[in-house]
Structure 1
Amino acid sequence: MLLLTAVPVPASAEIYKYMDREGNIYFTNLPYKRATGFELLWRSGNDPLYADSYSRINVQALELNKARYSNMIEKAARRANLKPALLHAVVRAESAYDPMALSKKGARGLMQLMPETADRYGVSDSWDPEQNLAGGASYLRDLLDMFDQDLKLAVAAYNAGENAVKKYGNQIPP
């Protein structure tokens, strides 16, 4: 019997890529430990914000919210010309599908939009899942365009901020 409960998990500042046998690509911050084939795309290094912080992930709530917001995520992905799997990976990594997630730095909602980014993308209510997803997807699309479709740089910029990537000469920040 599998017991699904809230388990303390270190907050991750890593993004992994995995391709299944059918060629579907998945992005996650939580690779399945017994599986092989996960490629580390990005790690934040020794960011003190992540080094000592922990989050609690309720697996049941995560799966329910994933199902609840899946259509919205796919709609936002289509509008921004992104693969839904990429948007799902960012939502899972950023908020674990929690629309009320709030980071220590003030990022909010499913896509963990900072207030300045929300304003920039016309998001008047970061807690509204549809607005949050639309703004986050548009931002991610702009980052991919800004960094010549380089997924590693776009994901790093989404997490650390585009200026951090630019500061390091369009390289992943340490």
Structure 2
Amino acid sequence: MVIQALLVLSPPEGCADIYKYEDSEGVLHFTDAPTDKRFVIFMRDIKKDRELRTRLKLSQNANPAEYEQIIKTCSEKYGVSAPLIKAVIHAESGYNPNAVSHKGASGLMQLMPGTAKSLKVSNSFNPRDNVEGGVKYLRFLLDTFRGDVSLALAAYNAGLNKVAKFGGIPPYAETRTYVDRVLSYMQSYQAN
């Protein structure tokens, strides 16, 4: 019994975060792939946490202050916090308005062509249009998931259908890393 507890408390190198929740009967449930929002972080994977904080640096030519007024205006217009908007921009493009992903997403908030079209964003490389479209989409996702920022971010990354299909954050490493990264950036922006 003691050995089992030590194994749980001392995960081997390369393990994922461990989440837990206690049900109504007092039974503790643990997982590394939570599918229910009742799960909370129990043990953070230190290596992964360090990577989240250092992986994406700002674009060399990035000047976040250049977009401050656009972010403020969109934040007020759509009721989405400025730290969340900044965190998404930071994670998505590193504040590079000309960023293009290998999947075809573009601009500061990395809008996919279909999403940009549905949001009436005619030029994804125009910072004002891109941020407005991205924030409008974030507002929709936040409303859809009743203000649950983690689920909204998961849908922003993996798509609304994937979050609905899995009833929570999809079990994709990329999406889980993305959500953690954006939340970490958001906390940093809130502190400043």
Shorter-chain TM-score bucket reads: 0.5 to 0.7
C-alpha displacement of 1:58: 3.9
How many pairs does the alignment contain? 119
Equivalent AA in structure 2 for residue 142 of structure 1: F
* Structure 1 residues 63-86: Cα deviation after superposition (integer angstroms, max 9, x where no partner): x2x011111111111111111111
Q: In the alignment, is residue 83 of structure 1 matched against residue 81 of structure 2?
A: yes
**Mapped partners of 2:106, 2:124: distance in 1:** 6
Q: Which amino acid in the other structure matches residue 149 of structure 1?
A: G
Say if 2:93 and 2:99, in contact at 8 Å, map to a contact too: yes
Partner AA of 2:169 in structure 1? I
Paired with 2:129 and 2:59, the residues of 1 have a C-alpha distance of: 24
Which residue number in structure 1 is paired with residue 106 of structure 2? 108
- 2:153 corresponds, among 152, 155, 161, to 155
Question: After superposition, what is the alpha-carbon deviation per residue over 1:67-112, rounded to whole angstroms, capped at 9, x for unaligned?
Answer: 1111111111111111111100000010000000000000000000
Query: Which AA in structure 1 matches 2:104?
Result: G
The corresponding residue for 1:24 is none
Query: Residue 29 of structure 1 corresponds to which residue in structure 2?
Result: none
TM-score of the two chains, using structure 2 as the length reference? 0.58
1:173 equivalent in structure 2 = 170
* 1:160 maps to amino acid: A
Mark the structure with the bigger radius of gyration.
2
Contact 2:141 2:156 in 1 (8 A): yes
SS at match of 2:71: helix
Segments of structure 1 that go 5 or more residues without pairing to the other structure are: 1-38, 41-53
In 1, distance between residues paired with 2:57 and 2:146? 35
- Please identify which structure carries the higher strand content: 1
% same residue: 46
Q: Structure 1 residues 88, 56: closer, same or farther in 2, change over 3 A?
A: closer
The aligned counterpart of 1:96 is 94
Query: Residue 57 of structure 1: CA displacement?
Result: 4.7
AA partner of residue 95 (structure 1): S
1:142 corresponding residue in structure 2? 140
For normalisation by structure 1, the TM-score amounts to 0.64
**Alignment RMSD:** 2.0
Task: Encode CA deviations 1:109-161: one digit per residue, 9 max, x unaligned.
Answer: 00000011101111011111000000000000000000111111001111111
Q: Residues 28-52 of structure 1, C-alpha deviation per residue, up to 9 Å, x if partnerless?
A: xxxxxxxxxxx98xxxxxxxxxxxx
Distance 1:110 1:136 in 2: 9
**What residue identity is the alignment partner of 1:86?**
L
| Match in the other structure for 2:162 | 164
Q: Determine which structure has the larger helix proportion and give its number.
A: 2
Structure 2: runs of 5+ lacking an equivalent: 1-42, 45-54, 172-192
Residues 1:120 and 1:101: Cα distance change in structure 2 (over 3 Å): same
